[in-house]
Amino acid sequence: MLNQFRNSLLITLLILFCNLSICVAQGDDYERKGSVISKGSNKTPVGDLKVTTYRLELIKLTKPFDLGDEKPPIETAFRLVIMTDEPLPFGNVSVWIDEKEIQPKRIQPNAFAIILYARTLQDGMTLALSTRVEKDLTARSILPETLNVPDAYATSLQEIAENRPVIQLRRLTRIQRIQIRIKIPNSRCATTNNILVVEIDGKEFDAGCDGDAITRLLLDEEFVQLRDGSEIALKRGFGRDARNRRVVGRLDKSSLDR
């Protein structure tokens, strides 16, 4: 059930945990001349926003960018441009890479760009556009073609596996609770003035830290009400005040320790 959701794991938690793989920013790099390393070929408009295709460019950065991964700063980055069949009204539009929402810059009336500061990108990711007020999957205009990343710039399968979030469900018999435990490789769990929240099946739960893992205790009745396969997301704050929402996986009830 969960295989279809596993391709997006390198893009999650960009802002909450910006030392995983990709950091997204905006600035002068949008104006830099780039070389096209991949592009789509779809010409049939799709969805309410009539998306058509994409192009992926390699750009020389204005100045080196430190990814915070204890490696030398990168001097090149990726510029991804999503195109639509018709100019869109000026307004708030989001670019989606798998389950990661990114705010783009309009570079043409029918083209939206994002800069991906990364050493490599994952091949085969889903691309989409939506309005910022419509965030549900059903409201996205999804390209019929996935992102094609040439081998020279593609993330290895080993690195994908090493950076995969680990979600565990454990029954704590002594206190009669079910613990959800989320471990993000190469990151640390930190509580700040902004409340750390775990969102499951649209329900919000404040979370805490257990070492490097993010944890939440659930009552049996709370756990039963959650649908198997539901999105699990992390964010800062509740409801409309929430920021930096990132999907980290899906609820797999069969993994609960019995």
Domain that holds residue 106: 22-154
- The DSSP letter of residue 68 is S
Number of structural domains in the chain: 2
What confidence score (pLDDT) does residue 215 get?
Answer: 92
Final residue before a domain boundary, out of 102, 128, 154: 154
**65 and 144 share one domain:** yes
In this structure, are 143 and 178 located in the same domain? no
Q: Dig out the tokens for 108 from the structure.
A: 């043409």
Q: Are residues 41 and 140 in the same domain?
A: yes
Q: Are residues 138 and 237 in the same domain?
A: no
Judge if 29 and 141 occupy the same domain: yes
Q: Tens digits of per-residue pLDDT, 88-127?
A: 876 689 999 987 888 899 988 999 999 999 899 989 889 9
Query: What does the pLDDT read at residue 203?
Result: 92
Q: Which two tokens stand for residue 124?
A: 């085969």
- Express as a percent the part of the chain with pLDDT over 90: 40
Q: Do 181 and 117 have their domain in common?
A: no
Q: How many CA atoms lie within 13 A of 90 on its CB side?
A: 2
CATH code for the domain in which residue 240 is found? 2.60.40
pLDDT tens by residue, 26-42:
457 787 788 999 999 99
Q: Are residues 135 and 202 in the same domain?
A: no
Residue 31 shares a structural domain with residue 54: yes
pLDDT at residue number 74:
92
Residues 144 and 183 in one domain: no
- Distance, in Å, from the CA atom of 94 to the CA atom of 210, rounded to the nearest integer, reads 34
Q: How confident is residue 218, by pLDDT bands cut at 50, 70 and 90?
A: very high
pLDDT value at residue 134: 77
State whether 143 and 177 are in the same domain.
Answer: no
Alpha helices in 106-211 (DSSP H): 157-162
Residue 7 has pLDDT above 60, yes or no: no
Q: Is residue 38 part of a domain?
A: yes
Same domain? For 80 and 192 the reply is: no
